[in-house]
Amino acid sequence: MSIHPSASPDVSRPDEGPGAARALAWWKRALGIPRRLVRVAVRNSWFSFVMIVAAVMGAAILVTIVLPGYTWSSSRLYTSKFGYSSLLRKLKRPFPVTAARIARRTLDHKALGEGLVRSEPTVVSIVPMGTVVRVHVRQGDRVKKGQLVAEIDPTKINIKVESARAALQTARAELERVKIGSAYVLTYERPRLDQIREENARKQADLQKQLIEMNLPLLKKGYASKAEILLRQIDLAKSELAQEEAKFNLTMSSRGVKESITIAESAVKEAELALSHRLAELKDYKVYSIADGLVERCLVHEGEYNQDPGKPAFLIASDAWFEGNFDQGAYDRIRVGSEVKVRLEAYPDRFFPGKVTWINPFVNYDLGGPESTRPIRPMGTGAPEWPATFAARVRIEPQACPIIPGMTGFCVVLSRSEVPCLPRESVASITAGKGIVYAIRGDRFEPREVTIGVVDGDWIEIRDGLGASDEVIRDGYQVLMPDDKIRVVSDPGGGR
């Protein structure tokens, strides 16, 4: 059987279209079997028919498997010496690429931090000196704020309290004596007595004056002697002096008695304060917990004598929280109030919800800096770097299961933000917050460095380096050489 030459396809030169779809259409036309050829094969022999079927199947395999693989940019054959890229360069044809532009999208950023449950160490001290007669808790016990944890022998302080009460009664009695003027220390502060003396001295002076006036006429007539008159005048002077002294004492005692009452009232107040002080000291002989938590250490025992005022007696682990260490790159995305999920090694099948309550404003070397023996290798580089982290405190919501200090685990902080981004495959050579994209300039391209941020699945945030109207190669840049031409075969843009 012979086939007419016109039926034989010309395979020397395919359609020079860059796309696999156009090449596939060409091979279908070139390898199509004319109906007449089929009729001839059936009429002549079954062998010819089998050969035709085999040819059709081979063509189908070539069109559906070999040709797409040949033109697929990610295949190993594509970049070989006889690959599709070499063919395009020899024919000086542009390389087919897909393109994308920056679009604003809401990305989820997950910051992972390792850490452990920490607590605030609270010291409960014993203030008074004395013998410890009772300890009500031991290490590991859970205590509440205001719970009685220890007692000190109160015998001596009770004596001091009763002594202060007696002193208060004495001071109150002295105040009453001052008010009535019977206190022995108030000899010069009795205004009523000084008033009586002043009146008596005034009356004596008046009588002396009258007596002198009566004797003066008798002296003129010779019935009285000059000496008698002089004695009367001396008695008058003494009476006047006594009157002046009585006035002075009355003035002094009238003013001084008020101050004496003030002194006595102050003594009563001082005695009351002394009693209050002793009663306050008596309260210290019972030691109470100052916070909720677990007794981490018990430093006293029954029968011991506390000889140092303020000596620590109990160490309570209070106010437990999870402290996670996050990479410094997440510092601007974690905020106070951010929602967190905590997973502890003690409860591997559970996540505990919580919120960030405090962020350490300092970045440090979590593993010891230069002394660290485990450097990290960031994505996209082989150079080791020491882990620089910052700490964030997470308040875990109350749970039925116990969460105690020292439990290890990790936490995830989820934040969402609307940012400019590109498809993930558009950015190459990601390292240290930088990446390379290939900007489209007509039928040419140029590499450009961009600053990247959040990577969320198929999308990556672009912080700097591109404008809103810039178009970049999404796929196909992997095999490009600097002098290659390109042709966009899909509309730019993107979407989830």
The mean of the pLDDT values for the chain is 77
Q: What is the pLDDT of residues 341-378, one digit of tens each?
A: 999 999 998 999 999 999 999 888 654 444 445 555 54
Long-range Cβ pairs for the range 136-140 (8 Å, 24+): 137/295, 137/298, 137/314, 138/295, 138/298, 139/295, 139/296, 139/297, 139/298, 140/294, 140/295
Question: Using CA atoms in the order 308, 309, 311, 314, what is the torsion angle rounded to 10 degrees?
Answer: 130
Residue stretches of the chain with pLDDT short of 70: 1-50, 61-84, 181-196, 218-219, 222-224, 229, 248-257, 365-387, 432, 490-496
> Given this model, what pLDDT does residue 290 score?
93
Domain boundaries, given as residue ranges, for the chain? 5-92, 154-284
Q: What is the pLDDT of residues 75-95, one digit of tens each?
A: 666 666 666 677 777 778 888
> Given this model, what pLDDT does residue 245 score?
72
Cβ contact 124:287 at 8 Å: yes
Q: pTM of the prediction?
A: 0.53
What secondary structure does DSSP assign to 2-58, as a single string?
Answer: ---GGGS---SS----SSHHHHHHHHHHHTPPPHHHHHHHHHH-HHHHHHHHHHHHH
Distance CA 175, CA 266 (A): 9
> Given this model, what pLDDT does residue 333 score?
82
CA angle 24, 26, 29 (to 5 degrees): 110
How many of the other CB atoms lie within 10 Å of CB of 205? 20
410-420 residues labelled b (16+ CB within 10 A) or e (exposed): bbebebeeebb
221 in helix, strand or coil? Answer: helix
110 in helix, strand or coil? Answer: strand
Cβ contact 448:426 at 8 Å: no
End-to-end Cα, the chain, rounded Å: 57
Distance CA 438, CA 427 (A): 8
Partners of 477 in the β-ladder: none
